Amino acid sequence: MSFIWFQHYPTGVNHEINPDIFPSIKDFAVDCFKKYADLDAYVNLGKSLTYAQIDALSSQFAAFLQNDLGIKKGDRIAIQMPNLLQYPVVMFGALKAGAIVVNTNPLYTPKEMKHQFNDAGVKAVIILANFASQLQQILPETNIEHIVVTQIGDMLGGLKGAIVNFVVKSIKKMVPAYSLPTAISFNTAMKKGANSTYNEVDIAGDDVAFLQYTGGTTGVAKGAMLTNRNIMANMMQIAEWKKPLLREREETIITALPLYHIFALTVNCLSMLKIGAKNILVTNPRDMPAFIKDLKKYPFTVITGVNTLFNGLLNQEAFRAIDFSKLKISVGGGMAVQKSTAEEWKQVTGSDLVEGYGLTESSPVLSCNAVDGTLRLGTIGIPLPSSELTIRDDDGNEVATGQPGEIWGRGPQIMKGYWERPEATAEVLTDDGWLK
């Protein structure tokens, strides 16, 4: 790693992290659940769940998976839903059961679903009812054994939940008719889990936690094997990077990007656990009036997004009227942040729009601009702690400063490889740990 990178590290940020403080994401999460038990962890559609409630509910779901579905360590479970409270309950439940989570885009076509489910060898699917008709089309061509169907209002409880489900299905007609005779409802699954016992599972750092599907640079979608250690490392790296500005028990983050995407999964859903942040889950950010209503309701200190999201907000007069006095960090990724967007964001909110860079294969963050005010617009910043970046030519040799080439990255966040694709893995991972 070039020494000049160290010279530009933000004050108070360590150059190295320890990804082995906890053996697994499960152990880390449970520690956070207990440490911040009284705080709100996730908020969605006006309903909040505390860290203690997420712990209890996810253990319930894990118990259901183990005792009713017979899920064993290493089994693959697909989650196909937008940002809802069900997502962290199901995800942490699956991880507690030792399963491998296969995040699936709800907007996938039946063909894309079939490829991903078959490629990953998915045993169980937890899917939002709105997309169940798509699953019905391809189910006979898969080896899926179990289906759990949830509705948008399932975690809202009582009359509100029932009304939301009725409106979504019967008034807005957002749930196409489907027939999945063997499926059970999410609420039934949770009741079954409450009547059984969750059995602890030993999980090691090298065990795969997530199969995150990506096209990579070319070709068919492949499952990046992200281990517990990979994700733990990136969570620790992100937390270290944000340390100059963020405080325990004080932060509120806006999660408008979908949790099934690696950006929001690691940066929003997981890394903010470390400081006991409140996570505002936005189900449909395209509904700008409702989205902005949430932004006004919850004074937020952190927001992440992509250039199109920031641009869309800036084009809303109601957004410009929000009180941004609490906002500490705005992070852009997923695509290049336009200079004009970043400049206007700073003018409207008073917050720098900090750009980072990474890939699904790197869990995902490799580099980011500092959050201490030393922003360099139009750049992807410098490597995160314990990370290296280099620029290579077609023969794998380092190029001179200022010369074009391919970015190579190395660090504890680099994937184990592509699921059951050793040749594709060999094309992007070198023997000494570099990801091309």
pLDDT tens for 163-190 read 999 999 999 999 999 999 999 999 999 9
Structure confidence by residue, pLDDT tens digits, 129-148: 999 999 999 999 999 999 99
d(CA 131, CA 104): 11
What is the reported pLDDT for 374? 85
Q: 266: which residues sit within 8 A by CB, 6+ positions away?
A: 231, 234, 235, 238, 363, 364, 365
Distance CA 49, CA 216 (A): 35
Give the per-residue pLDDT at 335: 86
Residue-wise pLDDT for 305-338, tens only, equals 999 999 999 999 999 999 999 999 999 988 889 9
- pLDDT given at position 334: 85
Q: How confident is the model over 330-358, as a mean pLDDT?
A: 94
Mean pLDDT for the chain?
95
**Per-residue pLDDT tens for 367-399?**
999 998 888 888 899 999 999 999 999 999 999
Please calculate the CA angle 328-333-334 and round it to the nearest 5 degrees: 155
Mean pLDDT value of segment 258-266: 97
d(CA 103, CA 83): 12
Name the maximum alpha-carbon separation found in the chain: 65
Per-residue pLDDT reduced to its tens digit, 58-96:
999 999 999 999 999 999 999 999 999 999 999 999 999
C-alpha torsion 336→342→345→349, nearest 10: 110
Percent over 90 (pLDDT), the chain: 92
Query: Rounded mean pLDDT of 265-281?
Result: 97
Supply the pLDDT for residue 7.
45
- Decide if 260 contacts 104 (C-beta within 8 A): yes
Local confidence band at 217 (pLDDT 50, 70, 90 cut-offs): low
What's phi and psi for 70, nearest 5 deg? 70, 30
pLDDT at 137 (0 to 100): 98
Phi/psi zone of residue 292: left (φ > 0), alpha (ψ -120 to 50 degrees), beta?
A: alpha
